[in-house]
């Protein structure tokens, strides 16, 4: 069994508790305009040609055992810090059977498992992951059907239903909200997400302010950066959104 | 003492007063009374003194009437004069007296200077061969005795020792102590003068300073300020005598009783202690007037002589003071062991996060066993500190340090070219039969060992002959001996059996990663895959890989140290064991140990210029791998792999010390959550047997270098939620943004 991997990042400090190894997978069903990992869109090999002359190859098939060996090599670090593996992407649900196999190996080795998903695929794809995933990071990219479709190409309705079902079946879920001005930073979006989160019994929300770090990758892939003129979230707006979720009783990070 | 409490923020070198209780200063919460003085002192220090260094003239003035005396006595009069005749210089904003400015004089008569230099030289100069500096004085004893007590010790010893040599030494020691007293006296008078010209708070400060200095002439210090004052003037006295890399050692231990007593009696606040320390540390930067930064090692943390955790409130004060001083020079080292409080490690990382690059973090669990192997007493070893960059040292119990550079990767050349070195036509090495004789990897290693053993024997011969040349009495260090355990009691100079332990020498072994990577490449491509013959490789090295591009690419693609790959890491293990094999054959002139060191921080560049192309694919003249770090840009599996690789060798064999340099993106240590994770990484590193790690956060200067040489910064990963990128691959505007931002977005 093999997985299409974009990159493996060791000592990942911002993708879950403790020190983690993040396995970024290739292949994504969405095309979020602010995406900072465009090299993970295609389920296949891509080469980034950076302006400085460096080249990076992404997207290669790796056997589960090969990945597991890399991940479990850092066991001491997970134990010392309360960390583990994070599967990100790309969209892990696209390779759900293989991911399940990898996480199953990790669980057996006592490694904490986390899957970062946008949840915009049929719910069946979650099923193989349920027994082997400790925590889901669940991204909500827009809070209404129209904008979700326009900015990502996916369906908010599906994301919403999947979240409720995932929670109903007892999975631990932390919401991750990329904050994109003009897409989901208006108070109406905040209210919709607050209501959904409350309904789903969510405890913790992570805010991810939009950043432009991905620009060079678009250039390296010979692609146009879709959000060229997009402004960043102001500190004031961040504070306001954070306060709003905090008032609603969520732990906000 | 009552001072008006106000707080200050400094922005762009302009002081902004602020009356809040807590302010954020450079990302940290500080409460401060005396930031004005410190920042104004910083400004005073920024003015370079006019004139030239007149050490030799002062020495000549002191020595010239005593030529008839035995050299040790005559020379001591010269040394005393350097201390007593150098002008006592006080800054307007000094909290602690002491400056090297007084050694600069304008309009020195060139004839006198020329002659004085001849005289000074004839009495012998200071360098590693003479064991003259790189020393951690026993300040604990000196503070406990005071100057008066030290005089009494000398007197007692003079009565006990009848032999002429001991009496000469003790007389010389007394002469230098007289010179030191002259220096204190001068500072006291200068403080009086300053007090006269000042009003209010400053006047009171200079009056107190003068009173402290006069009191110290006879009595031992009783307050924290007096203790600091005394050791700082000792330090200045060493600098006047052309002694550098003089360590302060375990300040948080030997100053603690003074600090605690003062706090108890209400004569000192924590903030004042930090201010006093800062004002002293910032003056270490005066060394730039002499042409470069000093490396004054200050050691905090670790364990006590009896094995308890040694972190105390003063350890934190020193961390804070070093951070506020914010200059290279005070080379802070933090000893870490498994019971070191998390808070201490965290505070140390916060200081590193400011971009200072220190404290260097040292592993007691490796350094202590490394020193115990040489038969030092357990309580002495527990009390170890460092001199220079990282050299393990037992304060005040062994003669000053010496070290040299052993350029290990160079020895591939005599191995491949029948005893010849490509860039050193005059080197005559062993002919171990050339490449054609080495049929297996085992042959290769055996012959390489023979080359190294022979090379090291020459290295040692040259050092030892030089070291031996400086006959003890003529090159005596009577002033330094006052700061070394048993010298006075024994009536013997620090270099002549006065110290408890004999001298130790550190052989700076170069290029662990260059060697390990080279051995792995040879093993893989020549012996295992048989893609190239050793003769082909030798030829490619001879022509610096010109016309052998494919071979060079294959060599570069071979396993590299720092990626948790046993194939190559075993050669790092071999290297460490080999260095220990080499050095353990030798003793210093007085019977002390020779240590291996893998710590040459900058010399990897100059040493690389002396080495032809190496089998790891490195081209002729390029830098070697630095210290104990993986080859720059070759550690591509992330920092956890670096930690795993660099903890495989047994560093207890490297008694001098190692340096593992790590570059980090700036945000990684700024955010509490990330810093905690980094601390966990360090705990693993130390648990696994890492000896030392020092971290540099990417600065603007580094960024420029990273843009020009991205290949050296490949290992810098940007850690943003859900994001995957290397720092060098980011848009330049984004890189700058990452350097500027502190918190928002969590960019690291």
* Per-domain boundaries in chain B: 51-243, 402-659
What is the SS3 string spanning chain A? CEEEEEEEEEEECCCCCCCEEEEEECCCCCCCCCCCCHHHCCCCCEEEECCCCCEEEECEEEEHHHHHHHHHCCHHHHHHHCCEEEEECCCHHHHHHHHHHHHHHHHHCCCEEEEEECCCCCHHHHHHHHHHCCEEEEECCCCCHHHHHHHHCCCHHHHHHHHHHHHHCCCCEEEEEEECCCCCCCHHHHHHHHHHHHHHCCCEEEEEECCCCCHHHHHHCCCCCCCCCCCCCCHHHHHHHHHHHHHCCCEEC
The verdict on A77 touching B (C-beta cutoff 8 Å) is yes
Q: What is the CA radius of gyration of chain B?
A: 27
What mean pLDDT comes out for the span A142-148?
Answer: 93
**What is the per-residue pLDDT for B302?**
98
Q: Do A53 and B710 touch (CB under 8 A)?
A: yes
Q: What DSSP line would sit under B306-354, residue for residue?
A: TSSB---HHHHHHHHHHHHH--SSEEEEEEE-TTS-HHHHHHHHHHIII
Q: Do B725 and A24 touch (CB under 8 A)?
A: no
Chain A residues with CB inside 8 Å of B643's CB?
77
**What is the per-residue pLDDT for B633?**
85
Q: Do B746 and A14 touch (CB under 8 A)?
A: yes
**What is the per-residue pLDDT for B230?**
98
**Cβ-nearest to B640 among A77, A209, A211:** A77
* 8 A C-beta contact, residue B716 and residue B705: no
The pLDDT tens digits for A33-44 are 989 999 999 999
Q: Do A14 and B721 touch (CB under 8 A)?
A: yes
- Whose CA is closest to B134, among B329, B368, B297, B361? B297
**What is the per-residue pLDDT for B494?**
94
Contacts of B349 (CB under 8 A, 6+ apart): B669, B675, B678, B679
Q: Output the average pLDDT for chain A.
A: 94
The verdict on A213 touching B (C-beta cutoff 8 Å) is yes
Burial class (CB in 10 A: 0-12, 13-18, 19+), A153: middle
**What is the per-residue pLDDT for B60?**
97
User: Among A5, A11, A180, A214, which would you mutate to test the B interface (most chain B Cβ atoms within 10 Å of its Cβ)?
Assistant: A11
Instruction: Using the structure block, give the residue that is written with the tokens 């200081």.
Output: B351
Strands across the sheet with B594-598, in order? B402-406, B505-509, B594-598, B657-658
Interface of A with B in 21-60 (CB under 8 A): 21-22, 24, 36-37, 40, 48, 50, 52-54, 56
Percentage of residues in chain A with pLDDT exceeding 90?
84
Q: Do A208 and B564 touch (CB under 8 A)?
A: no
Chain A residues with CB inside 8 Å of B723's CB?
36-37, 213-214
**What is the per-residue pLDDT for B32?**
55
DSSP state of B57: H
A129-to-A21, A85, A94, B50, B617 alpha-carbon distances in Å:
18, 14, 12, 74, 45
* 8 A C-beta contact, residue A121 and residue A29: yes
**What is the per-residue pLDDT for B3?**
33
DSSP state of B130: G
Chain B residues with CB inside 8 Å of A56's CB?
726, 729
The verdict on A19 touching B (C-beta cutoff 8 Å) is yes
Q: Is the pLDDT of residue A74 over 90?
A: yes
**Residues of B within an 8 Å Cβ radius of A:** 564, 637-641, 643-644, 668, 673-674, 676-678, 680-681, 683-684, 687-688, 707, 710-711, 717-726, 728-731, 734, 738, 744-748
**What is the per-residue pLDDT for B23?**
39
**What is the per-residue pLDDT for B240?**
96
What residue ranges of chain B have pLDDT lower than 70? 1-33, 700, 715, 719-722, 737-748
Chain B residues with CB inside 8 Å of A219's CB?
731
Shortest Cα distance from B723 to chain A (angstroms)?
7
The pLDDT tens digits for A13-69 are 999 999 999 999 999 999 999 899 999 999 999 999 988 778 889 999 999 999 999
Interface of A with B in 167-186 (CB under 8 A): 176
Chain A residues with CB inside 8 Å of B736's CB?
none
- Whose CA is closest to B363, among B647, B553, B44? B647
Instruction: Using the structure block, give the residue that is written with the tokens 């090297």.
Output: B100
Which residue of chain A is at minimal alpha-carbon distance from B707? Answer: A52
Chain A residues with CB inside 8 Å of B707's CB?
52
The verdict on A74 touching B (C-beta cutoff 8 Å) is yes
Which residue of chain A is at minimal alpha-carbon distance from B637? Answer: A10
Burial class (CB in 10 A: 0-12, 13-18, 19+), B547: exposed
The verdict on A17 touching B (C-beta cutoff 8 Å) is no
**What is the per-residue pLDDT for A161?**
96
Chain A residues with CB inside 8 Å of B673's CB?
13
Which residue of chain A is at minimal alpha-carbon distance from B667? Answer: A13
The pLDDT tens digits for A91-133 are 999 999 999 999 999 999 999 999 999 999 999 999 999 999 9
Q: Do B638 and A10 touch (CB under 8 A)?
A: yes
Shortest Cα distance from A19 to chain B (angstroms)?
6
**Cβ-nearest to A54 among B644, B684, B729:** B729
* 8 A C-beta contact, residue B34 and residue B275: yes
Torsion, CA B474, CA B478, CA B480, CA B485, rounded to 10: 120
pTM score, whole prediction? 0.92
Q: Which residues pair with A176 in a beta bridge?
A: A139, A206
CA A98/CA A157 separation, integer angstroms:
26
Q: Do B637 and A10 touch (CB under 8 A)?
A: yes
**What is the per-residue pLDDT for B723?**
72
CA B196/CA B213 separation, integer angstroms:
16
Helix (H) or strand (E) holding B507: strand B505-509
Chain B residues with CB inside 8 Å of A22's CB?
724
User: Among A5, A14, A19, A39, which would you mutate to test the B interface (most chain B Cβ atoms within 10 Å of its Cβ)?
Assistant: A14
Q: Do B734 and A216 touch (CB under 8 A)?
A: yes
């Amino acid at each position: 069994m093999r997985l299409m991997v974009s990159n493996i990042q060791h000592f990942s400090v911002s993708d879950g508790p403790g020190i983690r190894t993040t396995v970024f997978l290739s292949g994504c069903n969405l095309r979020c305009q602010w995406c900072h990992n465009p090299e993970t869109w295609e389920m296949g090999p891509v080469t980034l040609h950076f302006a400085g002359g460096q080249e990076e190859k992404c997207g290669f098939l790796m056997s589960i055992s090969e990945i597991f060996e890399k991940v479990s090599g850092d066991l001491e670090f997970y134990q010392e810090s309360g960390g583990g593996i994070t599967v990100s992407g790309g969209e892990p649900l696209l390779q759900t059977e293989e991911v399940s196999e990898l996480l199953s190996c990790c669980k057996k080795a006592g490694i904490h498992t986390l899957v970062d998903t946008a949840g915009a695929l049929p719910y069946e794809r979650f099923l193989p992951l349920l027994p082997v995933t400790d925590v889901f990071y669940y991204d909500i990219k827009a809070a209404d059907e129209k904008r979700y479709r326009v900015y990502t190409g996916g369906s908010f309705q599906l994301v919403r239903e999947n979240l409720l079902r995932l929670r109903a079946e007892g999975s631990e879920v932390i919401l991750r909200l990329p904050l994109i001005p003009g897409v989901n930073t208006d108070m109406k979006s905040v209210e919709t997400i607050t209501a959904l989160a409350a309904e789903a019994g969510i405890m913790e929300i992570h805010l991810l302010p939009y950043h432009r770090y991905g620009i060079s990758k678009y250039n390296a892939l010979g692609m146009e950066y879709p959000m060229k003129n997009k402004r960043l979230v102001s500190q004031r707006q961040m504070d306001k959104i954070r306060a709003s979720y905090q008032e609603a009783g969520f732990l906000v990070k | 003492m009552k001072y008006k409490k106000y707080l200050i923020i400094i922005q762009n070198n302009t002081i902004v007063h602020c009356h809040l209780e807590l302010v954020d200063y450079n990302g940290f919460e500080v409460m401060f009374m005396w930031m004005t003085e410190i920042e104004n002192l910083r400004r005073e220090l920024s003015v370079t003194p006019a004139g030239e260094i007149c050490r030799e003239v002062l020495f000549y003035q002191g020595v010239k009437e005593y030529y008839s005396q035995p050299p040790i006595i005559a020379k001591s009069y010269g040394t005393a004069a350097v201390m007593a005749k150098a002008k006592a210089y006080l800054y307007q904003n000094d909290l602690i007296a002491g400056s090297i400015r007084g050694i600069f004089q304008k309009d020195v008569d060139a004839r006198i200077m020329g002659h004085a230099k001849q005289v000074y030289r004839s009495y012998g100069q200071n360098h590693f061969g003479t064991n003259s500096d790189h020393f951690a004085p026993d300040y604990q004893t000196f503070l406990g005795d005071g100057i008066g007590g030290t005089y009494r010790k000398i007197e007692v010893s003079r009565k006990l020792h009848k032999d002429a040599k001991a009496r000469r030494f003790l007389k010389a020691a007394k002469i230098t102590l007289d010179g030191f007293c002259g220096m204190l006296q001068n500072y006291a008078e200068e403080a009086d003068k300053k007090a006269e010209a000042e009003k209010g708070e400053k006047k009171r400060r200079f009056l107190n300073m003068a009173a402290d200095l006069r009191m110290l002439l006879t009595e031992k210090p009783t307050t924290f300020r007096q203790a600091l004052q005394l050791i700082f003037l000792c330090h200045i006295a060493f600098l006047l005598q052309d002694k550098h890399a003089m360590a302060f050692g375990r300040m948080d231990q030997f100053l603690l009783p003074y600090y605690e007593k003062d706090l108890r009696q209400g004569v000192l606040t924590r903030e004042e202690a930090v201010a006093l320390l800062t004002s002293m540390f910032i003056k270490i930067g005066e060394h730039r007037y002499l042409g470069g930064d000093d490396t004054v090692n200050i050691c905090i943390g670790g364990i006590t002589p009896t094995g308890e955790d040694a972190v105390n409130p003063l350890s934190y004060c020193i961390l804070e003071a070093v951070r506020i001083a914010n200059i290279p020079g005070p080379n802070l080292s933090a000893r870490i062991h498994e019971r070191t409080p998390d808070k201490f490690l965290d505070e140390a990382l916060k200081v590193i996060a400011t971009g200072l690059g220190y404290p260097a973090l040292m592993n007691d669990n490796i350094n202590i066993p490394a020193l115990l192997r040489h038969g030092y007493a357990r309580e002495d070893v527990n009390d170890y500190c460092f001199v220079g960059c990282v050299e393990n040292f037992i304060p005040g119990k062994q003669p000053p340090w010496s070290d040299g550079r052993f350029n290990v990767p160079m020895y591939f050349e005599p191995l491949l070219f029948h005893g010849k070195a490509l860039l050193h036509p005059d080197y005559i090495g062993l002919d171990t039969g050339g490449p054609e004789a080495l049929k297996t990897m085992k042959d290769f290693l055996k012959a390489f060992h023979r080359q190294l053993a022979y090379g090291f024997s020459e290295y040692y011969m040259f050092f030892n002959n030089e070291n031996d040349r400086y006959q003890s009495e003529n090159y005596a260090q009577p002033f330094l001996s006052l700061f070394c355990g048993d010298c006075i009691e024994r009536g013997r100079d620090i270099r002549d059996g006065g110290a408890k332990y004999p001298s130790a020498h550190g052989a700076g072994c170069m290029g662990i990663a260059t060697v390990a990577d080279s051995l792995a490449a040879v093993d893989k491509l020549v012996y295992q895959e048989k893609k190239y013959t050793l003769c082909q490789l030798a030829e490619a090295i001879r022509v610096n890989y010109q016309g052998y591009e494919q071979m060079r690419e294959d060599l570069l693609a071979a396993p590299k140290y720092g990626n948790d790959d046993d194939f190559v890491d075993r050669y790092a293990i071999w290297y460490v064991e080999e260095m220990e094999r080499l050095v353990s054959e030798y003793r210093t002139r007085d019977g002390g140990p020779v240590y291996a060191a893998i710590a040459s921080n900058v010399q990897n560049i100059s040493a690389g210029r002396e080495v032809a192309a190496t089998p790891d694919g490195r081209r002729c003249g390029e830098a070697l791998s630095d210290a104990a770090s993986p080859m720059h840009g070759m550690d591509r599996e992330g920092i956890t792999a670096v930690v795993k690789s660099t903890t495989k060798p047994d560093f207890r064999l490297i008694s001098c010390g190692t340096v593992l340099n790590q570059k980090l993106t700036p945000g990684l240590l700024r955010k509490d959550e990330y810093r905690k994770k980094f601390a966990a990484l360090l705990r693993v590193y130390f648990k696994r047997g890492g000896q030392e790690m020092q971290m540099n956060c990417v600065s603007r200067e580094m960024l420029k270098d990273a843009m020009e040489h991205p290949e050296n910064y490949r290992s810098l990963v940007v850690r943003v939620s859900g994001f995957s990128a290397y720092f060098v691959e980011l848009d330049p505007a984004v890189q700058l943004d990452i350097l500027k931002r502190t918190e928002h977005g969590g960019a690291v």
